[in-house]
Amino acid sequence: GGTEAIAQWLERHAEARMVVIDVFAKMRGQAPQGVSAYDADYVAVGYAKRLADHYGVAVVLVHHVRKAGSDDFLTEVSGTNGIAGAADATLVLKRARGQADGILHVTGRDVDEAEYALSFQPASGAWHLLDGPVSDHTVGDTRATILRYVRAHPGAKPKDMAGELPQVDLDTIRRTFNRMADAGQLTKDPGGRYYPDTETRAQGAQEVSALSGCPVSPSDQHEHPGQSELELSGLSGADEAEGMAK
């Protein structure tokens, strides 16, 4: 009955833009008999997607991750791949136990895959977006200082950092530059000058943005949030909703 209850609420609140289900496991109900675990997960998320598509709202499912870590954050979503496969986008927030900072990983059909550095604010119970790329907050202090300096001074050489890191000898700075280049955190030209690895990506993103001509407001947005061309029979139980679905 959860889907019907949400549909009825959305019928009464046409201006609503988002529904949050916290937590998803409490709302998904029993798995259908005789289907695989993947299919059961896909069907369960599918109910939320049908609501989102029909009413033109965001439906956010708060879900758990596995305790075991992985290089691919999508595999950390608890359950089968059917959960992430049915959702339009997946966001995974990861942080070490006892740490205030975390990384929000984002991927999906209509969004660029990205990472964001966040810090938890105990006083407000909210997450705060940190300035700069994630690498600034996941590397050691020496590397973070180098990253910030090279980003501000593209083409810098290790000797230029001597004044920025007086407590670190020049040989150690050179080795750190080389290791950061090997790790893809910096790029190095034949003249021994270093550049931030994000520079090329940022330029490419600007070029794509300028060429796309994408309007600020999607042209397919209707005045009414419902999308009548999509069938959603039986969700709200209201005559008006049934008429819309038809």
pLDDT in tens, 96-144: 665 657 889 899 888 888 888 888 888 898 998 888 777 666 666 777 7
Contact 133, 98 (CB under 8 A): no
* SS3 (DSSP) at 94: strand
Q: How many CB atoms lie within 10 A of CB 126?
A: 10
Q: What is the mean pLDDT of residues 164-186?
A: 83
Q: Where in the chain is the domain with CATH 1.10.10.10?
A: 139-208
Q: Above 80 in pLDDT, residue 23?
A: yes
User: Both ends of the chain: CA-CA distance in Å?
Assistant: 22
Residue 8: closest CA among 243, 235, 244: 235
Q: With residue 187 as reference, give the H or E element that holds it.
A: strand 186-188
Distance CA 166, CA 159 (A): 11
Nearest CA to 110 among 40, 53, 44? 53
The pLDDT tens digits for 43-57 are 889 999 999 999 999
* Structure-token pair, residue 165: 């890191």
Residues 58-76: pLDDT tens digits? 999 999 887 766 666 777 7
Q: Read off the tokens for 154.
A: 């593209």
For 88-109, how does the pLDDT look when each residue is reduced to its tens digit (9 = 90+)? Answer: 999 988 876 656 578 898 998 8
Residue 230 half-sphere exposure toward CB, CA atoms < 13 A: 13
Report pTM. 0.55
- The domain made up of 139-208 has a fold known as Arc Repressor Mutant, subunit A (1.10.10)
